[in-house]
Each structure stands twice: as C-alpha cells, then as structure tokens.
C-alpha cells in the first residue's frame, strides 16, 4: 500500500491507497507566454475568425468589457493573468480611438455573491487601476433595469443594459470549462431565471454537447445583431505553488517531500481557522500559455481545446472507484468555507465532470469524496444553502425541490441580501446542486471518507465512512471480482482524457 499526501479540507493527511491504484496527476508546469499584453494585442489584430478589433471599433463610442470573477482555476492566486489581459484590451481600445472614459468593465457574476470593493479593485492590477478612468459595474441578476434581448422566434431574455447600449462588447475570460468563459460570460449578465435554467452537461470539456454553451452561443449571436461583439480567451496553466513544494501534486518527488515534511504535521494539528489562513497564504503562481480572439464562442472553444491538450492527463480504460480530494474552499468568489452542498458541487459538479471522450468512472462505479463534510451553515452567505439542505434532509424529492426553488426565487429578504452583496442569489444553491446530477446519475454510490457529519452525508444521499481505507474496502466489496481504482490528485484538478 502506498501512502500519498492528499488534501482533505484544510488538512493534508497521508492516505493509504492500493499499489495498483491509478494516480491521476496534473502535468508539470508548462512554458508560459513572456508578454501577455503583446499576445492579447496580436490576437485582437489577427482573430481566429470574423473582423479584427480595428474593424469593429467606433471612434468615440462606448464599449463594455465583460469579465468574470476568478472562480477558476482552483485554488486561486493573488496575481491573475486576466488582470493584465483586461489592461491590454483597455490600452488597445484607447489606441484605436475609444477613450477609457467611455469604457465600462462589467463583472459578470451570475448568481454568485456580488463583488465588493476588494473584488472590484482586483479586476486590474494596482498600478493599472490607478490609471483607469472608466466605470466598473457589477451585474445584478434581479435588477429591474435589465433590457429585453430577442434570441429568435418567441424566445427572449433579459440582459444588462450596458451590453445593449454599447457600440462594442469585448469578453475577456479564461477558457477553463465549457460553462464558464467566452459566450457564457454574456449568459452570466442575464436575469436570474435565465442563468438558473441552464442545464448542466455530463462533461465540462465538450462544448458541442453543452446546453449551457449552446444557449450562450445563441445569446452572443443575438447580441451581435444589436451591436458588435468580440472575445479574448486565455489558456491558463494549472496554479503551481512556489517554494520547496512547487511541483506538488504533479511530481512524485514533491509527493515524497511533502509526506516527510514536518510542516505538514504541524499544519494538521492547528485549529481549523489557522489552517485555512495558512493555506490561503501559500504562494501560488498562474501563467498564460496562449491567447485567442474572435467571436466569443469560437475563441473560447479553441482555447479550451488547446488547454485540454496541454494540461490534460491521459489514461486508458475506466475506473470502478475514483477518489476525489476536496480543498478548504469552494468554487464561488468571494471564497467561503465549504458546506456539504458546495463540497459536493466541487467534487461531483466540477472535478467529476472534467473529462473528455469518455467518463473516467465506469457506469455504476463508486465515487469517494475525501472531506469531513462539516455543516458550516450560518447566517449571511451560507443562509441560502441552509434552506436547500433542510429540503434535502427532509427527502429532497423533485416536487419538494421545485417548490423550494420557487419559494427561493420570490424570497424578498434573501434577494435584498443578494443585492447588498452579503450573500449569493437564493437560486445559486439549487444551481450548484444541479451540477452534481450527471455524476450522481452515473455513479452507483458516493462515499465520504473521513466524514465527521454522518447526518449531513446521509441528507445528500451519500454514505459516510470513517477513513479512506474503510471507503476503499467498501467499494471493493461492492464491485466484487476485479476492481480498478484511481486517485485524482488535486486541486488543481487536471482534465481527464480517457481512451
């Protein structure tokens, strides 16, 4: 049996895994672009298709620059290449005759908690932010000022007014999944009902089969009939730690070094709040490996496929059991302590859907989530999740979920809290839970290794276990006969390319 250091919340215990288990590790750091600003400028001059930025600008006109909160990749970094890309777009527009005083940077937060001052200040780097003279707006999915946009036929949506009134719309995003970035950033500028209605796909790496991507592409096409639209998509490397453990978890040497490190033992015995603060302060760097421009859906798809080929992990065959370690923070920004629903959304809704060509898990296989699954529900940002958890604990039938969803959409107190930036939209927990459905439909069962809240696990339909050893033995007994297991090392979670 091999002992491997894996994240379990804010702890890094040594986990014993079978010697024949498949370790799914992200690749080592990739060669990065030396000058992101120059790469963005060149991509806008020579887009993949359509007109260049020079042909789209209206001298003296208004422009809306759409950006997304840096939810992905996970874990986040303090210095993000998207900041430099946004600044490059602003400079390029000014050079072509659209002054920064006519720019509006629109933060497309979707149903997430609305960005506050700290998040708005991080859209650009400090030096660039001091020189910026335009406006910065945060999307409100419940605003009565959203404008109608006809998608064709009898279908229409409501969208942020700045996009309708602009002479040019520029999307600056990173290509991480088919449901985030590119034209999906425009979808995150729509009304709450439109965003929440998007159906999650079984895979996050198959743009052609994503209902969310198809809806976003139709939205971009409809907006392009009203104004001019172009997108800039960045191909990012995985976040990598700096210092002595820089190559974790992609290097076997780094795994061995961290397993023997006395700092890991000290971290595991610290109180939870101190552990999380320590992990947040760990130095990480994020590099850009490519930049593409063109129609948002086109640039995003090309960048996504390029990122899969560069950052993906190849392996053959499917697995009967897949172990997924979960980190101390969830996907949403601002980062909040995970609760059982956001933990499930990270493991099942995100990590288990990062595959290409075929699912890594055999039909009816077992998923093992490595997390304590504590009930971190409270007031403020966690209140909407507590309401959904109570419904799931009481049965969570389709009728109950539909009734709860309808009640949440009309909860004026929760909506007011969302508008004030104190909590996410009350429909976000339902959207997060919906992303788990494809993995739950495929898996025969979900085990929670190291679970310290058995009631929370059972409320979500999971099976609590005390340790990873017990979970793997249970999975082996359920499978019977030959049993093939794998361990997904992360975060960062690599794209899985199954042959």
Q: Is the pLDDT of residue 234 over 90?
A: yes
Contact 462, 382 (CB under 8 A): no
Q: Higher-confidence residue: 465 or 19? A: 465
- Rounded average pLDDT over 116-127: 87
Q: Is the pLDDT of residue 303 over 70?
A: yes
pLDDT, position 40: 97
Give the bridge partners for 3, in sequence order.
16
What separation in angstroms does the CA of 88 have from each of 41, 94, 294, 400?
A: 7, 10, 16, 48
pLDDT, position 165: 94
Q: What is the 3-state secondary structure (H, E, C) of 195-215?
A: HHCCCCCCCCCCHHHCHHHHH
Q: Is the pLDDT of residue 244 over 90?
A: no
pLDDT, position 235: 97
pTM of the model: 0.94
Q: Is the pLDDT of residue 152 over 90?
A: no
Rounded Cα distance between 138 and 149, Å, is: 19
Residues making up the chain, counted from first to last: 499
Give the bridge partners for 173, in sequence order.
233
Helices 383-393 and 412-419, axial angle in degrees (round to 10): 140
pLDDT, position 154: 63
Q: Which domains does the chain have, with CATH numbers?
A: 2-26+312-498 (3.90.226.30), 36-236 (3.40.50.11440)
420 CB neighbour count, 10 Å cutoff: 10
Q: Is the pLDDT of residue 183 over 90?
A: yes
Q: What is the mean pLDDT of the chain?
A: 91
Across 137-146, 152-161, 277-286, 370-379, the highest mean pLDDT is recorded for: 137-146
Tell me: the pLDDT tens digits for 80-118?
A: 999 999 999 999 999 999 999 999 999 999 999 998 888
1 CB neighbour count, 10 Å cutoff: 10
Rounded Cα distance between 469 and 374, Å, is: 20
Rounded Cα distance between 261 and 14, Å, is: 11
Please, how many CA atoms are within 13 Å of residue 262, restricted to the half-sphere of its CB? 0
pLDDT, position 248: 86
What separation in angstroms does the CA of 407 have from each of 28, 331, 387, 413?
A: 47, 25, 10, 11
Taking alpha carbons only, the member of 333, 310, 330 closest to residue 80 is 333
Tell me: the pLDDT tens digits for 312-323?
A: 999 898 999 999
Tell me: the pLDDT tens digits for 2-42?
A: 888 998 888 899 888 888 889 999 998 888 999 999 999 99
| DSSP 3-state of 482 | coil
Percent of the chain topping pLDDT 70: 100
């Amino acid at each position: 049996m091999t002992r491997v250091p894996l994240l379990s919340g804010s702890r890094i215990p040594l986990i014993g895994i079978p010697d024949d288990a498949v370790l799914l590790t992200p690749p080592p750091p990739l060669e990065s672009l030396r000058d992101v600003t120059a790469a963005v400028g060149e991509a806008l001059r020579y887009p993949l298709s359509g007109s260049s930025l020079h042909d789209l600008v209206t001298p003296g006109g208004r422009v809306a620059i759409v950006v997304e909160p840096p939810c992905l990749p996970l874990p986040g970094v303090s210095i993000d290449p998207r900041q430099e890309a946004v600044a490059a777009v602003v400079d390029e527009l000014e050079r072509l005759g659209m002054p920064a005083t006519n720019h509006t940077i629109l933060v497309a937060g979707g149903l997430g908690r609305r960005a506050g001052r700290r998040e708005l200040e991080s859209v650009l780097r400090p030096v660039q932010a001091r020189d910026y003279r335009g406006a910065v707006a945060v999307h409100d999915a419940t605003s009565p000022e959203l404008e109608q946009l006809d998608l064709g036929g009898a279908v229409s949506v409501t969208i942020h007014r700045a996009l309708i009134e602009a002479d040019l719309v520029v999307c600056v995003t990173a290509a991480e999944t088919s449901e985030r970035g590119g034209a999906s950033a425009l979808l995150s500028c729509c009304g709450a009902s439109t965003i929440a209605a998007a159906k999650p796909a079984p895979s996050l790496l198959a743009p052609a089969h994503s209902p969310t991507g198809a809806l976003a592409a139709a939205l971009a096409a409809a907006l392009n009939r009203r104004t001019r639209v172009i997108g800039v998509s960045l191909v990012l490397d995985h976040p990598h730690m700096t210092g002595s453990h820089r190559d974790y978890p992609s290097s076997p040497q780094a795994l061995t070094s961290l397993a023997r490190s006395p700092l890991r033992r000290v971290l595991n015995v610290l109180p939870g709040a101190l552990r999380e603060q320590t992990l947040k302060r760990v130095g990480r760097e994020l590099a850009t490996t490519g930049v593409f421009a063109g129609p948002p859906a086109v640039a995003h798809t090309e960048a996504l496929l390029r990122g899969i080929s560069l950052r993906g992990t190849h392996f053959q065959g499917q697995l009967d059991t897949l172990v997924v370690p979960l980190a101390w923070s969830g996907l949403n920004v601002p980062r909040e302590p995970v609760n059982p629903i956001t933990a499930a959304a990270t493991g099942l809704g995100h990590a288990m859907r990062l595959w290409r060509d075929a699912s890594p898990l055999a039909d009816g296989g077992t998923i093992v989530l490595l997390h304590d699954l504590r009930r971190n529900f409270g007031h403020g940002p966690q209140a909407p999740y507590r309401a959904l958890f109570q419904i799931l604990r009481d049965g969570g039938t389709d009728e109950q979920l539909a009734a709860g969803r309808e009640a949440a959409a009309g909860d004026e107190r929760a909506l007011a809290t969302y508008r004030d930036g104190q909590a996410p939209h009350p429909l976000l927990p339902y959207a997060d839970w919906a992303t788990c459905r494809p993995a739950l439909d495929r898996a025969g069962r979900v085990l929670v290794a190291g679970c310290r809240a058995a009631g929370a696990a059972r409320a979500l339909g999971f099976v609590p276990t005390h340790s990873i050893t017990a979970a793997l033995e249970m999975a082996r007994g359920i499978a019977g006969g030959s049993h093939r297991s794998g361990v997904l090392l992360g975060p960062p979670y690599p794209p899985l390319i199954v042959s």
